[in-house]
Amino acid sequence: MKIYLRPITEEDGSLIVKWRNNPNVSMHCFNRVPVTLESNKKFFHEQVETGRYKQYIVERIEEFTGVVVYPIATVYLKDIDRINKRCELCIFTSDDEEWNTESQTMAIKKLLFIAFEELGMHKVYSYVFTRYDDEKQLLENAKFRVENVLESEAIGADGQYDDAYRMVIFENDYRQIDLDI
């Protein structure tokens, strides 16, 4: 499988809204407020166009021709702090069968390349609810490690407060990754 990260456009709003409002996606988010086309458009202008977020559509590439087949998910870097050289890495879960451990791993590596090579970051972090061990493992496979456990950090899908891992990777650890992407 091959993927390509394409910067989002305002026209991708309907896809973003569809993916983000899927209960299987929103249950993994700290903020579960439904997204509308209007709120997504506002977000795009205030966050993406200003450079606070670097958001991408993950597109599946057909291996034999190298042609983009279709979009399967969205991933992004947010809260880009150019002074302290750190940012947060986020991936949406998706119900697309192509959005699996293999494609997610590739997307994480591509985002790390952007963060460290293009944006010059020193540190990239991500948050994962402690109940989702598979997400923790996905990040650990990309050389992230648990930096801290945040107790009762956000309300979970069941209405109870959930603990979350803050996971981190530093530039020197990133340099140890096999970036065959």
Condensed to tens digits (0 to 9), the pLDDT of residues 64-80 reads: 777 767 888 899 999 99
pLDDT at 166 over 90: yes
143-175: b or e for each residue (b if 16 or more CB lie within 10 Å)?
bbeeeeeeeebeebeeeeebebbbbbbbbebbe
Residue 26's pLDDT band, with cuts at 50, 70 and 90, is confident
pLDDT in tens, 144-153: 999 999 999 9
Q: What angle do CA 16, 133, 171 make, to 5 degrees?
A: 75
- Per cent of the chain over pLDDT 90 is 60
Give the pLDDT of residue 181: 59
Give domain limits for the chain.
2-174
Give the pLDDT of residue 121: 97
pTM of this structure: 0.90
Q: Which helix (H) or strand (E) holds 26?
A: helix 23-26
Gap between the Cα atoms of 22 and 44, Å rounded? 19
Determine the CATH number of domain 2-174.
Answer: 3.40.630.30
Give the pLDDT of residue 60: 86
Token couple for 171: 């530039």
Task: Return mean pLDDT, the chain.
Answer: 89
pLDDT at 61 over 70: yes
DSSP state of 121: -
DSSP state of 99: -
Tally of helices (H runs) and strands (E runs) in the chain = 6, 7
Residue 93's pLDDT band, with cuts at 50, 70 and 90, is low
Treating both helix axes as pointing N-terminal to C-terminal, what angle do 101-113 and 133-141 enclose, rounded to 10 degrees?
Answer: 50
Gap between the Cα atoms of 42 and 23, Å rounded? 22
